[in-house]
Amino acid sequence: MALLEVNNLCISFGGLRAVDDFNLRIEKGELYGLIGPNGAGKTTVFNLLTGVYKPNEGIIRLDGEDITRKSTTEINHEGIARTFQNIRLFKNMSVLDNVKVGLTERFKYSTIEGIFHLGKYKKVEKEMDEEALRLLSVFGLEEEKDTLASNLPYGKQRKLEIARAMATSPKLLLLDEPAAGMNPNETQELMETIALVRKKFNMTILLIEHDMKLVSGICEKLTVLNFGRVLCQGETREVLTHPDVVKAYLGE
């Protein structure tokens, strides 16, 4: 059984078919890429997968369960976490506290215990700190744990957003243009980080990306979108040499 199975997904905005008859199948442990020109519908697909938008037609199944009509919070609880094209961190919170936000569903105490620091509060906070630091160490951010997120260099902010998403223990991680705005060295480091996350956590990853070096370097399979429809799907090497993809996406 595939981890993610999307069948005949469609959504329209003001009469415009933004995503039309979209199908996708991702097996557990795969690193899958979703590419296409600007306006092709890639982020709309992510918004459909995470409940931001509800489709007009189609079904989304995660681990065999229909999540099509569930809320964003419910879908996150089911096991999908994401990052965003425009970084969305709590910039006035520390690096450590940003990751702890992602841990709140796994480590709990009552409101009264939190306000007055009673009961399980100290024990749970200590466990959260330890888990957050463990995650930060995977991303090489443990030394910046007390730094405000807004004061991190751009590349490290990208890493922190992934670390926070991973704190929810997802089954599927969605990365929306994680290399956007990065220089070549930062992009190479990000590729290594994504590969490490996949290996260490046996993580299934779906990413949107424009950086073809990154896509061809780490993704085993690709889906190419154009005008909201699937242009081509399959093994990365085959997709990137497909005549329709070369013409429509690479502009050759």
Domain membership of residue 130 as a residue range: 90-169
Same-domain pairing of 119 and 230:
no
Helices first, then strands: H and E counts in the chain: 10, 10
Structural domains in the chain (count): 2
Q: What is the CATH number of the domain that holds 35?
A: 3.40.50.300
3-state secondary structure 111-165: HHHHHHCCCCHHHHHHHHHHHHHHHHHHCCCHHHCCCEHHHCCHHHHHHHHHHHH
Residue 85 lies in a domain: no
Largest CA distance in the chain: 65
Per-residue pLDDT for the chain (252 aa), expressed as one digit of tens each? 899 999 999 999 988 999 999 999 999 999 999 998 888 999 999 999 999 999 999 999 999 999 999 999 999 999 999 999 999 999 999 999 999 999 988 766 666 565 556 567 678 788 989 999 999 999 999 999 999 999 999 999 999 999 999 999 999 999 999 998 888 898 889 899 999 999 999 999 999 987 777 888 899 999 999 899 999 999 999 988 877 766 665 554
> 53 and 176 share a domain?
yes
If phi > 0 it is left, if psi is from -120 to 50 it is alpha, else beta; for residue 5 that is beta
Per the CB < 8 A criterion, the answer to whether 121 and 145 are in contact is no
Q: Say what the pTM is.
A: 0.92
Residue 131 and residue 164 in one domain: yes
Environment class of 131 (CB within 10 Å of its CB; exposed 0-12, middle 13-18, buried 19+): middle
